[in-house]
Structures are given as structure tokens and as C-alpha cells.
């Protein structure tokens, strides 16, 4: 039973993203903003820092593929983007001491990086028109805020679950 806790949490976040989008369509807060939840990415980043990195990269690739199949028009964007982001986050954490503040900023940086790559894919590949100022004001800043609020909510309980799972799996 304990082996399914992490995949279950990741799957729950995967579906919570679509539920969040359904309950917060553009214009919900009387402003013209786009809130893009990257809850799964935030969980994977925390996993990459406090759990077994290679196993986290496998989860990132699997859920990236599921994300591409379920949400996007281009297969492969999140399949490669999520594992690369988790890998870079884990490398950053090795350079600096991983605690709540550094993990917060690593998560902020990684979510911003993913948003810029997705923006680039939308503009250059899918030929969608949105200038950089509109992207920053309508999508990036609100997205960073909502994902960092999610980070602050889940950080301590999820880190506790990860440390318990890591301790159990290291002794098996």
C-alpha cells in the first residue's frame, strides 16, 4: 500500500490541475488573467530535491507523456520538459542548501522556465500571437503566484511523506 502513495499523489495533482482550470476560467477574478496550474511540476520539483532523483525523473517522464496526451497539441513537450526541469532543480539544490526558502525560489524559477518554453512553443510552432508584455502580465505573474501558493501549502506535509518514503526505501 505504501508504494502507491507517491503515484497516487502525483495522479491527484495531475487531475487537480484540470479541476482548477475548470473552476477558475479567465475572468474569474474580474481581471483578464490566465492562471496556469503547474501543481504536478511543483510536486515533482520537491520530489527531485528530497526524494530519489532517478525515480523522480521516471515519474516526471511518465506524467509528462500523460500530460502531453491529455492536455497539449504537441506530443513530447512536457515529456522532455518535466524531467529536464526536475533534473536542473536537483542540480541547483546540490549547489545551494535545500530548505524551504531555496526550494521556494528553485520552484519559482523552474515554473517560470517551463512557462517561457511553453510560450515559445506556442508562438513559434503553433503560431499563436501573444506579445511578451501580454504574456508576462496576463499569464506568467499570475501563474507564478498561484503555483507558489500551492507550494507553500504542500511543502511541509509532502516533504515529511518524502523523507519517510526515502528512509523506508533506502533500508529495503
Q: Which tens digit of pLDDT belongs to each residue from 34-59?
A: 889 999 999 999 999 999 999 999 99
Inside any domain, residue 134:
yes
Inside any domain, residue 41:
yes
Inside any domain, residue 126:
yes
Structural domain count of the chain: 1
Q: pTM of this prediction?
A: 0.92
Instruction: Report d(CA 160, CA 122) in Å as an integer.
Output: 37
pLDDT of residue 1: 61
pLDDT of residue 2: 73
Inside any domain, residue 111:
yes
Look up the domain containing 59 and give its range: 36-165
| Rg, C-alpha atoms of the chain | 16
63 and 82 in contact (C-beta within 8 Å)?
Answer: yes
84 and 128 in contact (C-beta within 8 Å)?
Answer: no
Beta strands per DSSP E along 3-106: none
87 and 134 in contact (C-beta within 8 Å)?
Answer: no
pLDDT of residue 67: 94
Quote the distance between the C-alpha of residue 152 and its chain's center.
Answer: 13
Instruction: Report d(CA 125, CA 14) in Å as an integer.
Output: 25
Instruction: Report d(CA 155, CA 161) in Å as an integer.
Output: 10
Inside any domain, residue 17:
no
Q: Pick out the chain residues at pLDDT < 70.
A: 1, 28-30
Inside any domain, residue 31:
no
Inside any domain, residue 20:
no
Instruction: State phi, psi for 79 to the nearest 5 degrees.
Output: -60, -40
Question: How many Cα atoms within 13 Å fall on the side-chain side of residue 66?
Answer: 16
Inside any domain, residue 10:
no
Residue 72, classified by CB atoms within 10 Å of its CB into exposed (0-12), middle (13-18) or buried (19+), is middle
For residues 26, 31, 34, 39, the Cα torsion angle rounded to the nearest 10 degrees is: -100
Amino acid at each position: 500500500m505504501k508504494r502507491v502513495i507517491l503515484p497516487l499523489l502525483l495522479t491527484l495533482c495531475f487531475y487537480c490541475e484540470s479541476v482548477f482550470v475548470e473552476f477558475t476560467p479567465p475572468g474569474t477574478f474580474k481581471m483578464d488573467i490566465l492562471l496556469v496550474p503547474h501543481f504536478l511540476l511543483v510536486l515533482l520539483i520537491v520530489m527531485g530535491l528530497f526524494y530519489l532523483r532517478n525515480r523522480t525523473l521516471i515519474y516526471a517522464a511518465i506524467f509528462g507523456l500523460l500530460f502531453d496526451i491529455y492536455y497539449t497539441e504537441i506530443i513530447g513537450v512536457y515529456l522532455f520538459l518535466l524531467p529536464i526541469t526536475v533534473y536542473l532543480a536537483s542540480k541547483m539544490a546540490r549547489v545551494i542548501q535545500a530548505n524551504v526558502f531555496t526550494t521556494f525560489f528553485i520552484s519559482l524559477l523552474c515554473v517560470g522556465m517551463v512557462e517561457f518554453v511553453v510560450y515559445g512553443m506556442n508562438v513559434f510552432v503553433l503560431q499563436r500571437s501573444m506579445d511578451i508584455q501580454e504574456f508576462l502580465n496576463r499569464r506568467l505573474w499570475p501563474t507564478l503566484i498561484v503555483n507558489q501558493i500551492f507550494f507553500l501549502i504542500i511543502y511541509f506535509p509532502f516533504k515529511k511523506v518524502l523523507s519517510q518514503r526515502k528512509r523506508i526505501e533506502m533500508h529495503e
